[in-house]
Chain A
């Protein structure tokens, strides 16, 4: 058997990665796979049950919601929103958080003090509350959701990475690089970043899961991508009124959120183990 790259050599990473390939595949192929337009209403076929329940219709394998929209198609299109947010919000939060963390950890002094105080202010805001308020100010839309998550979650990276940078900075090879006349920028990018990268990658996997949850929360509260774009959180919110007669409309999108977050979490856990970083467990809140 050809050997897998190190980061996939762990069973957990492999499980997470495999699940994610399926989810990303479903998101990319949504226009091909979806049997219906996700917004198409079929008022004759409202609240049809999924295929394993009697009375289902083969044209709607996972049933329909209270407006007769196909659940399967909405789930597939919802995966696009979830994945787009997961990828771009995480990239943004990583760039901003890692940049400030390296700045604070490397230079110390007043830079570190200032960034530390900003983090304190951010930490006094429950993330859900801050992201909701940001969405009130920014207005609905996919890129605004991504921006809101970036502005809330950069602190998760910054807090953890900053202390890692401070440890790495004291290593001999970093002093050696400075003595050789490396500039600050070169020292950070060539000597420090490679050492903090494993932690950064692990945090990114976990952050993608968090981003999926935050998007689901925002769209559940009606403050995300807007009504015309199918999103899992919104499907969950819509299904609340039908918990008695059509619980599957609630369970299916909840399960989609769960599987996606689980995939990111187990991937992150596997990466943490195989890359052996000093991530404290509490950062996964």
Chain B
């Protein structure tokens, strides 16, 4: 099985390289459509025309577009991600501070989406052909019709503003100092031996995680239910029933176990969408991740940051789909003997 996984990873890597090259080219071309001069923007406003011209020369802006792209690519490969125009800091620093926050948010949301989606799928299947199924089905359409950023706003309004149960700004209560060890706040607070700070960070994540998790769950629920319907056509289900197992046991031990794999294979794409959804949810909760960085960069037409953050999103989506595929291989019993 180890060999199978390695083979899959290698194949994924071989596909990922040209994909990312095309993505980088796409980002580069789209952002060059802008009627702004990156040279003038990276200089102080009182720069002379000669200085701007010299900067254009230095940045390679006088060369043809493909050459400019290759220069940029060469810089990326040599680890030079450029300077942010608005923040006057290396783009790499900004991204490496924001990325762990977004990963934490996305990861917890995926867990919630899976739990809610699987529970919903099991319930909808368990009550199939009854009124309860229609109710669950109908509510899944309702949930789907509220996009994640509106879920975020509504949860914020109800649990943050009205009931005042949960915080809805930033990541920590102001009395806590932020420990920086790995960059992942939840992990860092634990490593620093501050369970109180950990609880504060966790409480700050509940609303954004719920917003993302709930809005991603109906898709998982629906796939699981239809996959369970397929599974129940199989002989082993009848066999399990004939052996006298009660319905719940048949469902959990035999149904879910077999129906989960096809569901998992579709969750890769789903989680890719979820990762994109973090963008606005972060903005709404002032959560300092990639999404807020992206929106700040867009407001300031901060091209170097927009490009790298865009690329970071794509890399994360590729990583997520690879991890999900890996999980599929690990959990697939057909590959266990090899």
Contact = CB atoms under 8 A, between A and B. Distances in A.
- Pair from one complex: yes
B311 to A, nearest CB: 10
A266 interface: yes
B157 interface: yes
A127 B273 contact: yes
B219 A284 contact: yes
Contacts of A261: 145-147
B30 A137 contact: yes
A280 B270 CA distance: 13
Contacts of A216: 147, 149-150
Interface in B150-207: 150, 153-154, 156-157, 161-162
Interface stretch (B40-48, B88-96, B274-282): B274-282
Interface in B15-42: 15, 19-20, 22-23, 26-27, 30-34
B327 interface: no
B306 A128 contact: no
Contacts of B277: 126, 128
Interface in A153-184: none
B283 A123 contact: no
Interface string A12-43: 00000000000000000000000000000000
A134 B20 CA distance: 17
B144 interface: yes
Interface string B121-163: 0000000000000000000011011110110011011000110
Given A125-B314, A128-B279, A285 B161 contact: no
Interface stretch (A67-75, A84-92, A189-197, A243-251): A243-251
A282 B223 contact: yes
A281 interface: yes
B31 A269 contact: no
Contact of B19 (A120, A134, A251, A258): A120
B23 A254 contact: no
Contacts of B248: none
Interface stretch (A1-9, A58-66, A98-106, A217-225): A217-225
A49 B31 CA distance: 43
A213 interface: yes
B30 A126 contact: no
B295 interface: yes
A281 B22 CA distance: 30
Contacts of B156: 243
Main secondary structure of the interface of A (DSSP, over half): helix
Contacts of A137: 30-34
A258 B148 CA distance: 11
B294 interface: yes
Nearest to A209: B145
Interface string B5-17: 0000000000100
Contacts of A126: 272-273, 275-277, 279, 313, 317
A129 B272 contact: no
A94 interface: no
A261 B75 CA distance: 44
A121 to B, nearest CB: 5
Interface string A96-116: 000000000000000000000
A257 interface: yes
Interface string B89-106: 000000000000000000
A279 B112 CA distance: 26
A132 interface: yes
Interface residues of A, number: 43
A236 B318 CA distance: 32
Given A213-B147, A216-B147, A243-B157, A223 B298 contact: yes
Contacts of B86: none
B141 A124 contact: no
A284 B153 contact: no
A129 to B, nearest CB: 5
B273 A285 contact: yes
A133 B279 contact: no
Contacts of A251: 154, 157
B316 to A, nearest CB: 9
B68 interface: no
Tell which of A126, A217, A243 has the most Cβ of chain B within 10 Å: A126
B298 A121 contact: no
Contact of B141 (A133, A134, A269): A269
Interface string A197-214: 000000000000100010
B150 A120 contact: no
B237 interface: no
A265 interface: yes
Closest 10 CB pairs of A and B: A126-B276, A281-B222, A262-B145, A137-B30, A137-B33, A261-B145, A128-B276, A213-B147, A282-B266, A124-B314
Interface of B: 15, 19-20, 22-23, 26-27, 30-34, 141-142, 144-147, 149-150, 153-154, 156-157, 161-162, 219, 222-223, 226, 266, 269-270, 272-273, 275-277, 279-280, 283-284, 294-295, 298-299, 301, 306, 310, 313-314, 317-318
Interface of A: 120-121, 123-129, 132-134, 136-138, 209, 213, 216-217, 220-223, 236, 240, 243-244, 247, 250-251, 254, 257-258, 261-262, 265-266, 269, 280-282, 284-285
29 contacts: A120-B19, A123-B269, A123-B317, A124-B20, A124-B314, A125-B23, A125-B313, A125-B314, A126-B277, A127-B273, A129-B276, A129-B279, A129-B313, A132-B294, A132-B298, A134-B30, A137-B31, A137-B34, A216-B147, A216-B150, A217-B147, A221-B280, A221-B298, A250-B153, A254-B154, A265-B145, A281-B222, A284-B144, A285-B269
